[in-house]
Structures are given as structure tokens and as C-alpha cells.
């Protein structure tokens, strides 16, 4: 009997759901990275960041359309040369690996703190990575089906919990909406890159999208949805706790949900349901990044199967994640991953797109 899930292409809508699932990472639902930088304007920085990073994704799409059926592994060496182009490919690999490792470490801390007290971080990380690897070695059709199920369940629970938290919301905590501090706002936009970093999967998965003409529109819709959701999360945190209290909490959204009480019902410890949401959402991010990293290495070494690379990545991801239990090293890794992603998005990609256009014009003149 043929495998009905086996497929090598996905539609633009399926890719948009996958992208939104990857962007809804543990940093978005747990830490709200721009709170400390942008403070009361963090919600506005998220809106601006959504537009800025959607522009970066658009440049990636434009670059990919110039090299159909090719990924970053093929067109970077073609544009920049073998060694410089290869360096850029490894830049992408390292950036994704650091981001994935930091996400797992952050998640393990939160789960240990709220759900499994005294459970070693290592147990949480290795269990989650193995479960994600099982999905990453499947066919693309299976991955898409799992993503659709997990995404809609996780998002439905997220929206329900946010609506329930309105009982603790106070509009005075949010006011004034505009505080006139442009430097804080700009810093918040930079920190918010962690929320939208998932668009880097375009480098590898774009050739596998069958509806290329609709890709720009559906990616924009994914960014729009995530921007609205992230803005709602930030406003919920600030409105329920106030900015000063939110900054003192290591997990501000969990603190907000924990304060919600529904008398006369069997629902208790709503923060536990939020942890379940994070498990579902992070699962999408981890197996997608494992798939993307393995596919990148497969193409880089001209191998016919990505699955051995998924298995080779497991100990690497585990040991890097486990090494980040030190607070200063965790913070440093976040900063490095953030800087690498920003340089890649707003320096390397625009330059590459410019060189690709110049090369095309030179080829036309030669003809």
C-alpha cells in the first residue's frame, strides 16, 4: 500500500501554518524579550518588529525566486564563491543551532520550575529532543499533518487562556500608550527578533512550496497573525501586572495566568495548561529546526537522505542546550544568536540580493 503522507511539496497555506508555528516559540510565550528594553512600549515594538522582519522575509522570498528549486546551500556559493558562500551557509547553521539550543534550555527551566520540581534539566531536554527527532525523520506530509493538529490545538488553548486573563487586566497599567522614547522602542524592535526568527526556514523550505506566487501573501498573513498574538500577550502581561512587577518575574505570562481564578469550577492551576501550550508550540519549533538543519547538511554534503543527520544533530543540540544552564552563558548565547540573525537578515541577504540582480544584468548584457 502506498504511503499517502509521503510528499515532497507543501502548499503556500501549509507553509504559512508551519511558519507561524515556528515563530510561536518559547521566547514569545514565556519571556517577552522586549519588556526590559522597551518597557511600557513593548507592545508597540512588537507591532513595528512584525513589519520590519516581514520585510526581511520578503527579501528572502525575492532572493529564492531568482534561484528556483535552489536553497541557500546552492545559491550562496554561486553568488559569493565557494569559500565565502560556504561560510554563509555555516553562519545559517550555527545561528539556527544556537537559537534551538537556547529555546530548549529556556523551556526546561520553566517546566522544571512550574511542573516537574527537582527534575534535572537534562531529562527534560533529552526527552523533548528525542520526541521531536522522531517527527523530524518522517516524510514531509506527516510533518505537515502533525503541525496542523498541534498548531490549532495550541493556538486555541492560548487564546482561551488570554481571554480568561482579562479578568485581571487593568487599563491603567497600560497607560500612557505612547511614552515618546524612541531609543527604547528601537531597542525593543531589535530584541523582538527572537519572536519572529522562524522566517529563516525560507532558506531551505522555499523550493518545496508548490504555490510560489502565493507565498508572499501567505507569509505576510503568518506574520500578521503572530504580530497580533504577540501584541495581545504583551498587553496582557503589562495590563495584569504592571510593567515594574512584570520585570521582576522570570516568567511573566505564567504569573499572570496563575493569578486567574474561576470560582465554582473544577479548573485549577491554569498555569499548568499554559505549560501544555508551550509543550505543543515548542514541539513544532524543535522538529522543524531539526528538519531544516538536517536538510541543509544533506544538501551541503550531497547525501541522499537527511535522517542520519537528524540523529547526528541530537547529541550536538543536547550538549549545547545542557551547557547553557549557567545564566550568563545563556544570556550571551541569546545575544550572539540575535546578532547573527540580524546581520544575516539586514546585511547578508540585501547584499546577496543586490549581487544576484547585478549578476543577472551582467548575464543579459553578455548575451
- What is residue 31's predicted lDDT score, i.e. its pLDDT? 59
d(CA 7, CA 143): 10
CB 138 within 8 A of CB 8: no
SS3 at position 98? helix
d(CA 146, CA 100): 19
Q: Which three cell numbers stand for residue 83?
A: 569559500
d(CA 155, CA 134): 23
- What is residue 191's predicted lDDT score, i.e. its pLDDT? 86
- What is residue 6's predicted lDDT score, i.e. its pLDDT? 56
SS3 at position 209? strand
Which of the following CATH numbers is that of domain 12-366: 1.10.10.10, 3.30.110.30, 2.30.30.240, 1.20.1740.10? 1.20.1740.10
Instruction: Kindly compute the dihedral angle of the four CA atoms of residues 149, 269, 247, 243, in this order, to the nearest 10 degrees.
Output: 90
CB 136 within 8 A of CB 143: yes
Sequence length of the chain is 367
d(CA 275, CA 111): 7
Q: Which three cell numbers stand for residue 173?
A: 497599567
Instruction: Kindly compute the dihedral angle of the four CA atoms of residues 306, 311, 315, 317, in this order, to the nearest 10 degrees.
Output: 40
User: What is the per-residue DSSP string for 31-61?
Assistant: I-TTHHHHGGGHHHHHHHHHHHHHHHHHHHH
User: What is the per-residue DSSP string for 313-327?
Assistant: HHHHHHHHHHHTTSH
Element (H, E) at 295: helix 270-300
- What is residue 26's predicted lDDT score, i.e. its pLDDT? 65
Measured on CA atoms in the order 101, 107, 111, 117, is the torsion positive or negative?
positive
d(CA 247, CA 237): 10
β-pair partners for 209: 10
Residue 176: asked if its preceding bond is cis (omega within 30°), the reply is yes
Q: Which three cell numbers stand for residue 264?
A: 465554582
Those residues of the chain that have pLDDT short of 70 are 1-7, 26-33, 114, 117, 263-268, 361-367
Of 188, 277, 200, nearest to 234 (Cα)?
A: 188
- What is residue 30's predicted lDDT score, i.e. its pLDDT? 59
Element (H, E) at 63: helix 42-66
CB 42 within 8 A of CB 190: no
Q: What pTM does this model have?
A: 0.91
DSSP state of 10: B
DSSP state of 224: H
d(CA 254, CA 252): 6
CB 218 within 8 A of CB 16: yes
Amino acid at each position: 500500500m502506498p504511503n499517502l503522507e509521503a510528499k515532497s511539496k507543501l502548499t503556500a497555506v501549509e507553509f504559512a501554518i508551519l511558519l507561524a508555528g515556528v515563530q510561536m516559540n518559547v521566547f514569545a510565550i514565556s519571556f517577552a524579550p522586549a519588556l526590559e528594553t522597551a518597557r511600557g512600549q513593548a507592545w508597540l515594538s512588537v507591532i513595528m518588529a512584525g513589519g520590519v522582519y516581514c520585510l526581511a522575509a520578503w527579501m528572502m522570498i525575492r532572493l529564492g525566486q531568482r534561484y528556483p528549486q535552489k536553497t541557500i546551500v546552492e545559491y550562496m556559493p554561486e553568488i559569493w564563491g565557494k569559500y565565502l558562500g560556504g561560510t554563509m551557509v555555516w553562519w545559517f547553521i550555527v545561528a539556527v543551532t544556537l537559537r534551538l539550543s537556547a529555546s530548549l534550555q529556556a523551556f526546561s527551566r520553566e517546566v522544571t520550575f512550574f511542573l516537574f520540581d527537582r527534575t534535572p534539566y537534562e531529562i527534560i531536554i533529552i526527552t523533548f529532543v528525542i520526541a521531536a527527532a522522531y517527527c523530524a525523520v518522517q516524510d514531509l506530509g506527516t510533518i505537515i499533518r502533525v503541525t496542523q493538529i498541534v498548531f490549532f490545538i495550541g493556538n486555541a488553548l492560548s487564546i482561551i487562556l488570554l481571554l480568561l486573563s482579562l479578568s485581571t487586566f487593568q487599563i491603567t497599567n497600560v497607560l500612557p500608550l505612547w511614552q515618546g522614547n524612541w531609543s527604547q522602542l528601537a531597542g525593543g524592535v531589535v530584541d523582538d527578533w527572537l519572536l519572529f526568527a522562524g522566517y529563516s526556514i525560507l532558506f531551505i523550505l522555499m523550493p518545496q512550496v508548490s504555490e510560489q506566487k502565493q507565498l508572499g501573501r501567505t507569509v505576510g498573513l503568518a506574520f500578521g497573525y503572530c504580530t497580533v498574538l504577540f501584541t495581545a500577550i504583551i498587553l496582557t502581561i503589562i495590563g495584569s501586572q504592571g510593567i515594574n512587577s512584570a520585570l521582576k518575574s522570570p516568567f511573566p505570562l505564567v504569573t499572570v495566568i496563575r493569578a486567574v481564578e474561576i470560582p465554582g469550577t473544577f479548573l485549577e492551576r491554569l498555569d499548568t495548561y499554559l505549560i501544555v501550550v508551550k509543550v505543543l508550540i515548542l514541539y513544532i519549533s524543535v522538529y522543524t529546526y531539526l528538519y531544516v538543519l538536517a536538510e541543509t547538511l544533506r544538501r551541503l554534503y550531497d547525501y541522499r537522505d537527511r535522517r542520519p543527520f537528524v540523529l547526528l544533530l541530537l547529541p550536538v543540540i543536547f550538549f549545547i542546550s545542557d551547557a547553557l544552564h549557567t545564566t550568563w552563558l545563556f544570556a550571551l548565547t541569546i545575544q550572539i544568536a540575535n546578532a547573527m540573525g540580524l546581520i544575516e537578515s539586514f546585511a547578508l541577504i540585501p547584499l546577496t540580493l543586490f549581487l544576484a540582480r547585478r549578476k543577472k544584468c551582467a548575464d543579459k548584457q553578455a548575451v
